[in-house]
Structure 1
Amino acid sequence: MITLPSGIKKVEASDNATIANLNVNADLLDTKITKLDGIATGAGTANSATDTVIGTRTIDDTITAAAGADTPTRLWSKLANVIKGVMGTANWYTLPSMTIAAIITALGLKAPSASPTFTGTVTLPSTTNIGNVSSTELGYLDGVTSAVQTQLGAKAPLASPALTGTPTVPTAVVGTNTTQAASTAFANAAVADKITNKVTVSTTAPSSPAVGDIWIDMSV
């Protein structure tokens, strides 16, 4: 006898068709028929594979997606792996924090990197550089309230300034003899110092006058 791939035994001309052999074939055929129970007529044709026939399958989203033919379960698993990667979630069935529609809306509110047109009040970090202008140079503009040239025009030049109003300078100590600007307070103090220390008003001449001393004789 020849055993077919299905397990059924095929009787050849030289074999005896015994009851035992017939029973073996009958049991095999019953097993095969039982497996076919529930399959609709025309199984194997288009749309004939129902959920009942396919049965329940478990998706494994750790199976890396790859091209090529595969079983339905593995194909679904590969698709789940792609979905998980696109969403950036821990698994394929967890929704992302933002939907694609929300992401598109949020991107529409962002400025392009090339030639952006900002609106409202734009705040830049204190370390911002603009072209060749460093953040330190930009810091010099802190406190500027009008055009820089207008504010510079209101300043006195270093060479031959024509000051107006009541300009003030530091008051030097008496005896200062430099190119430092002299205030009226310095002039008054210097004159007072000369009068107090260099002029003698008395009926008696100074016993040891110094060069530059003045004596006013009160006896005349």
Structure 2
Amino acid sequence: MVLPKLLDIFLTGNNIISYNGCMTQVFLFVMLMVTEYLILAAMAYDRYVAICLPLRYSHFMSLQVCFRMSLISWSIGILDAILYSILISSCRFCGSNKVDHLFCDMKPLMMLSCSDTRTIEMVILGPSAVIGFVPSLLTLVSYTCIILSILKIHSKEARLKTFSTCSSHLTVILLFYGTVLGMYMRPKSSYSMDQDKVFAILYAGVIPMLNPLIYSLKNQEVKNALRRIRKQIFR
């Protein structure tokens, strides 16, 4: 919903969006962002079990466990999106209707509102802090255990091979978590709309474009193709 509208704006110059379309953007953006945040944390746990507890992997990461983790991630994402959408739609907009952002996000919409948004900001801050802290802590603990386990391996080749199994996921986590936390967890005193626009471009456009490339770098055919391209460039 975000990228198609951005492409429409770039191609046609039509930067008008309806109120219902704006609320739909808020709902889908929050739902997908929260869900991806939680799924990346679940994937970090998966890498921890695969590297630190390989003999018990089938027990800890059975099909039922994976389904439940996915279901919980999507459920929290949907519930969080419903909460935020209800709070934003309860605001009154009686002044300017120009959203100074790349899409309908919560912060610029609350800045446009002529209602007192302090209560809404406090209600949003609670779930956001929990959803931001818990998965980040789980990911940090998982990768701390992974790194400690890798350092115990005596063979250098074995260490590199083990680390390569989670390097792609770790790269995506650093990009995604860094962008989201930088966008929503900054103190209000340092809030800048220009910075938010940069973070929005990274999150909505650049990172999704890089994900397939990052995850496919372990594929031997992709590596060979990149080597051929590199040789052609240097020639």
After TM superposition, the score normalised by the length of structure 1 is 0.18
Larger helix percent: 2
Larger strand percent: 1
After TM superposition, the score normalised by the length of structure 2 is 0.17
